[in-house]
Structure 1
Amino acid sequence: MSGPALVALAVLGSVLAVALAAAAVAAPPSRRRRMLRILRSYDRSRNAARAVAAPFGGRLRPQVVWALQRLGDLVTPSPVQVRLLRHLDFAGNPAAWPLDRVIRGRIVGGLVLGLVFYVIAHGIALRYGLPGAVLGVLLGLHIPDLLVYNAGVKRQRAITLSLPDMLDALVIGVESGLGLDAAMAQVAHLLRGPMPDEINRVLQEMRLGVSRSNALRALARRTTVRDLKTLVTALVQAGELGIAVAGILREHAADQRTRRRQRAEEQAQKVTVKLLFPVLFCLFPVIFIVVLGPALIRISGSL
């Protein structure tokens, strides 16, 4: 294929990609998803990051949105949707990325990468066009999954880092005479971060009529942090057995401070190993050149 034809095809693909991205990002969710979003608004904290407005002023034709959604539902079976919902829970259910938008993003990613890979493979050889397009579609379908998974991993890491401070604040509130619910409300109101957001969601579920045990168990299902799961199990058992939570919180707070110090020491011990390869491959060659370079020049001149 000639050069102008490839350029024209690439421009056409870019225009199509922009149109599909606009349809996926700016399109309104379905009526069912809007109702679920309204219900989930009770679970979000006041200090959670708000979704920014879509960069596209108007909304595209509902037929395009419906077509993208239907196609996304066809290529996203129920087990994949369940996995996406779980990963969205780990990521904090960001308001800018409901499940419908993630599904539409899978279609957009598949079409865009399929077109790009087709252009590249077709430019290399004609017979590589179709396999390249298929490979691009398969990769594009998994890009939103990877983004959601990465957001969940980062948020769970942030929860791990903020858990000791949250426990210290709970211990201070409980030992000052507050009940567990009041201390949790103070933590959710005064602190910032993913852990206070989860505490606020637990409180919102309790205001909606969910028992404290069930709300805490739901919190344990929304996280992968083992220390938080252990804390939730201890609080649920204390509530069912009528045990005072002050001592439990104090012990967990001390244990979390110790674990945080151990994690810091572990990361410090890894620094020497991580510096080994950069020193071997970047620093030592430069030293050898500086030290042996003049000697090699003199030897070559004498010979």
Structure 2
Amino acid sequence: MSPIALGAILAIILPVSYLVWSVAATDRVAIRNIQANLGQRARNAAPQTLSLEFSAFTRKVTPVRYVTWLDKQLAALGRPKEWPLERLLAVKPLLALGAGLLGLFYFFASPEPSRFAILLAAIAFGYFAPDLLIRTNAEKRRDKIRQELPNTLDQMLISVQAGLGFEAAMARTAQNGAGPLADEMTRTLQDMQVGRSRKEAYLAMSDRVDVPDLRSFLRAIVQADAYGIAIAKVLKVQAHEMRMKRRQRAEEHAMKIPVKILFPLIFFIFPTLFIILLGPAVMNIIAAFS
């Protein structure tokens, strides 16, 4: 057997053996005692226990900075209930294992160095594919928040001018709205209800969402609250500024369109037009001189 094939086998078998040994090395006597004492209820909970143990194991072997980055991306995504951090950390090695097995079958069909590189790339893709998906969806959510912010500030300004307080205006706007910004405002109000200060709740929302426009607005609110500035005036100024920024972003995107269509225009549209317009004339000239 070639060294490349042997290395591929070891690259798959050793991590799998280590994971199986880690799960099998748990205290099965204690698990059997719990099952005997609790009966069917414990038997139903046993797979969940193993899943939690595997999640805890994957969290221990994953670098702390990487776990922190994943947690921040999930926070920017709104922390979906279907994909908590522990489940994500448990699924990533399984996806890498599945992709590695497929790559191993492809490698064994014809052991070559190029196929071994494809095997390693498949393992890396299986492990980091959820990160790409989460980051893409988090960026889309930030774009939605950035687009919703000016209209939301206008609604809050109307509520404040009608006599409501800032938190009451935020609650009214979140209740009547639908979208990621309304969800974040609801969560911020819940943080204040459980005992968090206004400043801490607003700054936590700023760090969680990570949108520069929203961060600027929340910092202005914190400073207005600290110095006793009228909230209605701050809302009016911020709403006007957010509308101006949204208009500037739209104009910027519009100015980029000619540059973006230049490549397909030169390499796809112009050649087709030249063929249609000049093709018959060229054929007639060739026929005349032949």
* 248-257 vs 69-78, which moves further: 69-78
Higher helix share: 2
Amino acid of the residue matched to residue 167 of structure 1? L
Please say if 1:267 is aligned against 2:238: no
Change over 3 Å in CA distance of 1:89–1:76 after alignment to 2: same
Please say if 1:92 is aligned against 2:84: no
Contact persistence 1:234–1:248 (CA under 8 A): yes
Please say if 1:145 is aligned against 2:116: no
SS in 2 for 1:109: helix
Please say if 1:227 is aligned against 2:210: no
Amino acid of the residue matched to residue 122 of structure 2? G
Change over 3 Å in CA distance of 1:70–1:119 after alignment to 2: farther
Please say if 1:299 is aligned against 2:274: no
In 1, the alpha carbon distance for the partners of 2:67 and 2:229 equals: 40
The aligned residue for residue 10 of structure 1 is none
Report the Cα offset of residue 61 of structure 1.
4.1
Report the Cα offset of residue 209 of structure 1.
1.0
Contact persistence 1:164–1:253 (CA under 8 A): yes
Contact persistence 1:166–1:187 (CA under 8 A): yes
* RMSD across aligned positions (CA): 2.2
Report the Cα offset of residue 121 of structure 1.
3.1
* 117-126 vs 107-116, which moves further: 117-126
Amino acid of the residue matched to residue 108 of structure 1? L
Report the Cα offset of residue 111 of structure 1.
1.1
Contact persistence 2:56–2:86 (CA under 8 A): no
The aligned residue for residue 256 of structure 1 is 242
Change over 3 Å in CA distance of 1:94–1:124 after alignment to 2: same
Change over 3 Å in CA distance of 1:130–1:189 after alignment to 2: same
1:113-262 correspondence runs (5 A) = 113-126=99-112, 130-262=116-248
1:40-51 correspondence runs (5 A) = none
* 126-135 vs 253-262, which moves further: 126-135
* 235-244 vs 196-205, which moves further: 235-244
What TM-score comes out, normalization by structure 2 length? 0.78
Match of 1:69 among 51, 55, 73: 55
In structure 1, runs of 5+ residues without a counterpart are 1-57
Amino acid of the residue matched to residue 208 of structure 2? R
1:106-117 correspondence runs (5 A) = 106-117=92-103
Report the Cα offset of residue 244 of structure 1.
1.4
SS in 1 for 2:164: coil
Aligned-pair identity in percent equals 36
The aligned residue for residue 105 of structure 1 is 91
Higher relative contact order (CA 8 A, sep 6+): 1
Contact persistence 1:71–1:107 (CA under 8 A): no
* 261-270 vs 126-135, which moves further: 126-135
* 128-137 vs 210-219, which moves further: 128-137
Change over 3 Å in CA distance of 1:275–1:135 after alignment to 2: closer
Change over 3 Å in CA distance of 1:300–1:99 after alignment to 2: same
SS in 1 for 2:105: helix
The aligned residue for residue 18 of structure 2 is none
Contact persistence 1:202–1:215 (CA under 8 A): yes
Contact persistence 1:85–1:99 (CA under 8 A): yes
Change over 3 Å in CA distance of 1:167–1:144 after alignment to 2: same
In 2, the alpha carbon distance for the partners of 1:259 and 1:289 equals: 45
What TM-score comes out, normalization by structure 1 length? 0.75
Report the Cα offset of residue 177 of structure 1.
0.7
> How many residues get paired?
246
In 1, the alpha carbon distance for the partners of 2:115 and 2:270 equals: 45
In 2, the alpha carbon distance for the partners of 1:109 and 1:124 equals: 24
In structure 2, runs of 5+ residues without a counterpart are 1-43
Amino acid of the residue matched to residue 256 of structure 1? M
In 2, the alpha carbon distance for the partners of 1:191 and 1:216 equals: 19
